[in-house]
Amino acid sequence: MNQATAAPAWDRFAQWGAWPARVLLAVAAILLVLAAITPLTASMDGTPAEVPSLVGGEPSDAAEHERDEDLAFYDRVIDRIESGESYYDFIVEEQRARAYPVRPGLAVRLPTLAYIHAWLGEPGLIAMAIVLMGVTVWAWWKRLGDEPGGKRRQRIGAALMLMGGSLGLNRYYFVLHELWAGMLLALAFGLHRPGRWGWPLAVAALALAIREHVLPFVLLMGAMAAWRRDWKEAAAWSALVIVFLLAIAWHFSLVVPQVLPSDPESPDWLVLRGMAGWLGNVVLSSNLRFLPHEIAGPMVVLMALGWAGWKSPAGTTGTLLYLGYALAFMLAGRANNFYWGAVVAPAMFIGLAFLPMALVSLVNAARGKA
């Protein structure tokens, strides 16, 4: 009996032929070397990071009194909403006063998180962050238990989810849209099952209303539903995309009339940063930021490899999701937009639970071991 026959169905690489496995091993080795030597920075050409404190570790008490400029800006927006003002009556003038770009319209954030923050206050957000973390870890505990090959990695996978999402419990960063969108995306992913998509759709809708960077996840879920010929689910995800596009059009209609010809456009987001874009975004917006870049960068590559080795609905979704965002981060986003990585970083850590299986099977397949 050969290895491909004896291997569990969920062990993807154990079923590969020798040459595909050798090619992937070579590619992985090259990527690991490149990841180790790629410097990870939140600045480019002397331009400071938009949220520099996220890179430097946890803020001290003194730093609390010296709020980062962007975080202080979000605080000001929330204060004005709490005082009864309407977001679109002041947001353009607030950004212009700080020399923040207001063109194109996406340079002005959607108001969802600011209103949630104003309505709940910091105590409410602390409670929401704790509940969101607990529910997300529980959702992944259940999904790992339900998926082929996931049961034996249930504990380590849930622990890794907790590790990946723990930054979302830091109240200092509660005003950052990407942290909330990323945790909600992780929850939607954990709750989803083929044929069971109601709650995941609702959670993803909230994430998308907070940050438009969740859109690739929504598109992927719709595409995979169509691939399974689940037309009802595919239609539901498609409807969410349409509603989002209408909301963005409404957002633009309120922002654009306030833009002046003298307002500068935002610097180009299409900057082709390559490996530094992918690795920098994930590392600097997660707890990997505490590690030396020679270790943290390769860890991101190994997470993706672990996901790729898990042949299951969740494993396939995770592989496509994280490789898709990897490509997007290589192509788009300036170095000081590193916090975009928080949209995908939390659940990406789960890939490490499947890394030992993936590496052993890939090496055995490359050796042609029966």
Q: What is the mean pLDDT of the chain?
A: 90
The reported pLDDT for the residue numbered 157 is 97
User: Tell me: the pLDDT tens digits for 145-202?
Assistant: 999 999 999 999 999 999 999 999 999 999 999 999 999 999 999 999 998 999 999 9
Is 215 exposed, middle or buried, given 0-12, 13-18 or 19+ CB atoms closer than 10 A? middle
DSSP code string of 260-308:
-TTSPBPPPSB---THHHHHHHHHHTSGGGGS-HHHHHHHHHHHHHHHH
Give the per-residue pLDDT at 105.
82
Give the integer Cα–Cα distance in Å for 291 and 304. Answer: 18
Per-residue pLDDT at 70 = 85
Residue found by looking up tokens 């050796």 in the block: 367
Length of the chain: 370
Calculate what percentage of the chain has a pLDDT beyond 90. Answer: 79
Q: How confident is the model at residue 60 (pLDDT cuts 50, 70, 90)?
A: very low
Q: Report the amino acid identity of residue 50.
A: E
Give residue 49's pLDDT band: very low, low, confident or very high (50, 70, 90).
very low
User: Residues 209-231: what's their mean pLDDT?
Assistant: 97
Structure tokens at 160: 């890794």
Task: Give Rg (Cα) of the chain.
Answer: 21
Query: Mean pLDDT, to the nearest integer, of 269-288?
Result: 92
How confident is the model at residue 47, as a pLDDT? 44
For the cut 50, the answer to whether the pLDDT of residue 3 exceeds it is no
- pLDDT tens by residue, 222-236: 999 999 999 999 999
This prediction has a pTM of 0.91
pLDDT at position 265: 84
Angstrom distance (rounded) from CA 194 to CA 311: 15
